[in-house]
Amino acid sequence: MGELDPYEVVGSTRVFDGKVITVRVDDVRMSDGQVVKREVVAHPGAVAIVALDDDGKVVLVNQYRPAVAARLDELPAGLLDIDGEPPLEAAKRELAEETGLTAQEWTVLIDLHSSPGFSNEAVRIYLARGISAGSVSDFTAEHEELTMTAYREPLSQAVRRVLAGDITNSSAVAGILAAVHGRATGWRDLRPPDARWPARPAR
């Protein structure tokens, strides 16, 4: 952003390679000219889906999350970890795998950075409407997915649970609240499902 934002990465060391993430330490020249170290978690990105049925109910899943040692209510979601798979196709696949549902109408609800203080993880949250039962023949649940459950509740009730602190997953919180605004404005601000996504991490 020119002279007002002269940050520059002048060196980088990768310190961990995992199945999902990598961790590196960047040497960043700050606006005052000093070079400081910043730890960065690199992530492939993810998609999540606010699936609304004709009765105004949102589809949620409940699964165990080892990092917080608790079961969380979340949106259907998944990693962008299949080479060449477009985000929309990943969202369709994840909705089918986690809930057994398909949708006729897809739009982009919001894009977000989950925790930009230390990670480049970006999440695209889609709105899916016109949902119906589908099938996925080649999906086999494993690990946490074995005890995942899916259910529906009124969007208004999901909002109350967000505000009460009962739903804390960041994508779920953001997606549910955005869906309330979207519905109130007739979905006029939503983008097409293939809208540009400049924040998506490069693979």
- 115-137 pLDDT, tens digit per residue, is 999 999 999 999 999 999 976 55
- Band (156; pLDDT cuts 50, 70, 90): very high
Annotated catalytic residue 144? no
Topology annotation, domain 46-184? Nucleoside Triphosphate Pyrophosphohydrolase (3.90.79)
| Per-residue b or e along 20-50, where b marks 16 or more CB atoms closer than 10 Å to that residue's CB | eeebbeeebeeeeeeeeeeebbbbbbbbbbb
- Decide which of 171 and 5 is more confident: 171
Strand bridging mode 77-79 / 70-74: unpaired
Selecting among 3, 39, 145, 153, the annotated active-site residue is: 145
pLDDT the model gives residue 172? 98
pLDDT 10s digits, 7-58: 899 999 999 999 998 999 999 999 888 999 999 999 999 999 999 999 999 9
pLDDT the model gives residue 203? 67
This prediction's pTM: 0.91
Average pLDDT, the chain: 92
pLDDT the model gives residue 138? 64
Contact 80, 176 (CB under 8 A): no
Three-class secondary structure assignment of the chain: CHHHCCCEEEEEEEEEECCCCEEEEEEEECCCCCEEEEEEEECCCEEEEEEECCCCEEEEEEEEECCCCEEEEECCEEECCCCCCCHHHHHHHHHHHHHCEEEEEEEEEEEEECCCCCECCEEEEEEEEEEEECCCCCCCCCHHHHHCEEEEEEHHHHHHHHHCCCCCCHHHHHHHHHHHHHHHCCCCCCECCCCCCCCCCCC
Domain limits, CATH 3.90.79.10, in the chain: 46-184
Per-residue pLDDT averaged across 181-199, rounded? 96
**The one-letter amino acid at 106:** W
Whether 72 shows a pLDDT value over 90: the answer reads: yes
Q: Scanning the structure block, which residue is given the tokens 């398909």?
A: 102
